[in-house]
Amino acid sequence: MSQDQLDARRREILAGARACFARHGYEGATVRRLEDETGLSRGAIFHHFRDKESLFLAVAEDDAAAMVETVARDGLVQVMRDLLERAHPDRGESEVAGWLGTQLEVSRRLRTDPEFAKRWAVRADAVTAATRERLIRQRDAGVLRTDVDVEVLTQFLELAYDGLVLHLAMGRPSADLGRVLDLVEAAVRR
């Protein structure tokens, strides 16, 4: 196989594993279920990933990297808007379930697995750093409020994000949340 084919296979495995972890949780995502979800054999899956732990971490890292990229380019509120768009009832459940399921599983493991929490701290710090750097750029451009420290604004946005994730995880309606996000954004602007 060429490198492009190997990369495509890896992305295919990650997409299937994301759906499997979202649907069944980490413990419930058995090798058999991973095979069913990806349509590949255990040999094909574990050719790319050492074990289920490394596969889950790759899914979570992939999601975290995409989040950091969006935060750096468009801000944390845009991440929330994207999540809300994915959660829209017309879009179906699978797109948001995969991403949200990974976030919830990461949250659970952060509470229950100290080793995972240590490894994950680097990824969480990257999101915080990207948020802080974006806010500093916005402040320097004159569009961010200056009466509140950037660190406080960073924490405010992270709390809003965490609240949105919890809200969606509980299956609560998302009809007017776009307006709520407008308010969050207005709260940090000048």
Residues 6+ apart with CB under 8 A from 149: none
Helix axes of 94-112 and 76-86: crossing angle, nearest 10 degrees: 120
What is the reported pLDDT for 92? 52
What is the overall mean pLDDT for the chain? 88
Total number of domains in the chain: 1
pLDDT mean over 161-172: 85
Q: What is the CATH number of the domain that holds 183?
A: 1.10.357.10
Domain range holding 73? 53-188
Q: Is residue 45 part of a domain?
A: no
Side-chain half-sphere exposure of 81, counting CA atoms within 13 A = 14
| pTM (two decimals) | 0.81
What is the reported pLDDT for 171? 78
